[in-house]
Structure 1
Amino acid sequence: MSATVSIASRPNALWLALSKNRLSWIGLGLLLLIVFTALFAPWLAPHDPLQQNIAYRLEPPSAEFWLGTDSYGRDVLSRLIYGSRVSLLVGFVAILIAMTIGSALGVLAGYIGGWLDRLTMGLVDVLLSFPTLVLGLMIAAMLGASLENLIIAIAITEIAPFVRVARAPTIALKQRDFIEAGRALGYSPLRLMGVHIVPNMISDVVVLGSLWMASAIRTEASLSFIGLGVPPPTATWGSMIREGFENILDAWWLTVFPSVAILLTVLALNLLGDALRDAIDPKLRSD
């Protein structure tokens, strides 16, 4: 019964948190705008993002090219729009993989305990001993530059926080009366974990996922900047900044606009994550 009440009350708590936190509406609006742009990129982009025209090389922002052109004569606005697809795809899929694997390991370690818990947390401590970007750089360099390898590299770097967040409430929940009642009724550990424990701690994992998706997008941009992201000529925000870095003094728009896109996306995810956190934790709700 407690699990049912908890789940049913979450939409109301989320709406209350959004109503009290006006900045969260800005984050939600920005995120929806970015997602809309990514979904409808073929219709919104004014030019082909891969079409080169040396005659228009390094054109400043104008009526024809709203955000200017790059060193190959490609439209920056079109590449920026298509780049949102890669950033959101990498961020979402990488965090989804990390969330699934990390939560499963955390629940198993917290519920079973013993040697499995010690082994899991030892591996987590090893992963957390490396900075996220450095660990992602090492993995991406070993796997090679591709979209799939980039997602795998970022997902591995983000597993550890989800293990910790899933493990802590699992340890507390397995001592609760409704779990003890389930054991008395003969429920299997798999059923207790999947049906009774996971629904009561998944909200914490979702909040962490929204916040770490911003980190995943930053990591993707950083890896793309140093050439370990999606291979060219595919447009990504990180690779666009890298291409414009060589002409930063003569063509400022090449680095400024992709940087602003990353900033707005990360800001939107952080604002929305704060609202989700307020909805989950009553102690953090605004008065």
Structure 2
Amino acid sequence: MMTNVAVTNGSSERQANPVLLALRRNRFSWIGIGLLLCIVLAAIFAPLIAPYDPLKQNILFRLAAPSADFWLGTDSYGRDVLSRLLYGARISLAIGFLSVLIAMIVGSTIGILAGYIGGLFDQIVMGIVDVMLSFPTLLLGLMVAAMLGASFENLIIAIAITEAAPFARVARAPTIAVKRRDFVEAGRSLGFTPLRIMGVHILPNILSDIVVVASLWMASAIRTEASLAFIGLGVQPPTPTWGGMIREGFENILSAWWLVVFPSLAILLTVLALNILGDALRDAIDPKTRSRG
């Protein structure tokens, strides 16, 4: 009896969530998870952590080097760089998350519809997607942001438009494969509507692929936001953003290096953490990788 229980427990562990088991084996992935968690917590608790008001100007401490009073120095208006960096994390992470969420919903819906319906509709939709993919992400985001204007909401829309096409391409391919499987055919024979088949039977089977792409493209969204802010099409000053801080500090890069270095490091660490997490999720979800592990 005890032997049977032990065997059952062992088999249940092996049949537990394969993604969690794969992440547990990949210790390097926990570096990305821990780093990203620290950045997110710093952004959430910025009002409690920030030593100064990020918008308060003090000309007496203009361009002060890193010291015990100002750990990361001050900018050309005497504002504390550390405080602006913490509050800027809120803007950058919010834009990255919301833009990717919108792109994931819109792009995945388009890809599933194109893959399920097929035929001429699929050819037209994928033709439009291919045209969008032919543009560099930054260039397409620059054009959309220039047309909509520089604001928090418009920046989210601009980045979401640039990233919807990859989600459509990723969602379409597995949809074509899944819709030919027996359980989908059984659903059709039972009279299930196409909307129910796509939402209940197809979407759960391709969701893992979409989530992996979302984690990777969120890093791209943060880079795009920083690039647009650097050229003046991001959230407008005095609201602190990492790209805006780099732009403001670029004029004094030779005399006040900290104005550019610390925001750049923040972007680097965030993108690195998201890429590590995305690669770990991809390896965990890929059945070929799991079988080798």
What secondary structure is seen at the aligned counterpart in 2 of 1:175?
coil
- Aligned to 2:74, the other structure's residue is in SS state coil
Q: What is the one-letter code of the residue matched to 1:233? A: P
The answer to whether the Cα contact below 8 Å between 1:213 and 1:269 also exists between their aligned partners in 2 is yes
Change (3 A) 1:11 1:130: farther
Render the CA deviation track for 1:72-113: whole Å, top value 9, x for unaligned.
000000000000000100000000000000000000000001
Q: Percent identity?
A: 74
Q: Match of 1:112?
A: 117
Specify the structure having the higher radius of gyration (Cα).
Answer: 2
Q: What letter is aligned with 1:146?
A: S
Aligned partner of residue 187 in structure 1, secondary structure: coil
Match of 2:8 in 1: none
Structure 1 residues 263 and 10 mapped into 2: Cα distance closer, same or farther (>3 Å)?
A: farther
Aligned position for 2:6:
none
Tell me the equivalent position of 2:274: 269
Task: Say which of 6, 12, 26 aligns to 2:31.
Answer: 26
Q: How does 1:95-244 map to 2 (within 5 A)?
A: 95-244=100-249
Deviation at 1:282, TM superposition (A): 2.3
Identify which range, 17-26 or 91-100, moves more after superposition.
17-26
Q: Which amino acid aligns with 1:186?
A: G
Name the CA distance, whole Å, in 2 between partners of 1:71 and 1:167.
50
| Partners of 1:80 and 1:258 within 8 A in 2 | yes
Pick closer, same or farther for the CA change 1:69–1:13 going to 2, 3 Å. same
- The correspondence for 1:15, drawn from 20, 31, 42, is 20
Is the CA contact (8 Å cut-off) linking 1:14 and 1:275 kept in structure 2?
no
**TM-score, normalising length from structure 1?**
0.95
TM-score (structure 2 length as normaliser): 0.93
Q: Spell out, residue by residue over 1:143-180, the C-alpha distance to the aligned partner (whole angstroms, 9 max, x if none).
A: 11000000000000000100011000000011000011
Residues 53 and 74, structure 1, Cα contact 8 Å, conserved in 2? yes
Whole-angstrom distance in 2 between the partners of 1:117 and 1:282: 28
Distance, in Å, in 2 between the alignment partners of 1:10 and 1:125 is: 39
1:41 aligned residue: 46
Q: How far is 1:284 from its partner?
A: 2.6
The one-character-per-residue Cα deviations of 1:181-202 (angstroms, maximum 9, x if unpaired) are 1111111111110000000001
* C-alpha RMSD of matched pairs (Å): 1.2
Distance in structure 1 (CA, Å) of the matches to 2:86 and 2:264? 13
How has the CA–CA distance of structure 1 residues 19 and 256 changed in structure 2, closer, same or farther, with 3 Å as cutoff?
same
Q: Which runs of 5+ in 2 are unaligned?
A: 1-13
Shift in alpha-carbon separation, 1:158–1:57, aligned structure 2, 3 A: same
Question: What is the DSSP-based 3-state SS (H/G/I as helix, E as strand, rest coil) of the residue aligned with 2:192?
Answer: coil
- Residue in 2 aligned with 1:64? 69
Q: Higher mean Cα deviation, 54-63 or 20-29?
A: 20-29
Aligned pairs, how many? 279
Q: Which runs of 4+ in 1 moved over 3 A?
A: none
Select the structure with the greater relative contact order (CA < 8 A; seq sep ≥ 6).
1
TM-superposed CA distance for 1:12, in Å, is 1.8
> How far apart, CA to CA, are the structure 1 residues paired with 2:237 and 2:188?
55
Is the Cα contact below 8 Å between 1:34 and 1:84 reproduced in 2?
yes
Tell me the secondary structure at the aligned position of residue 102 of structure 2.
helix
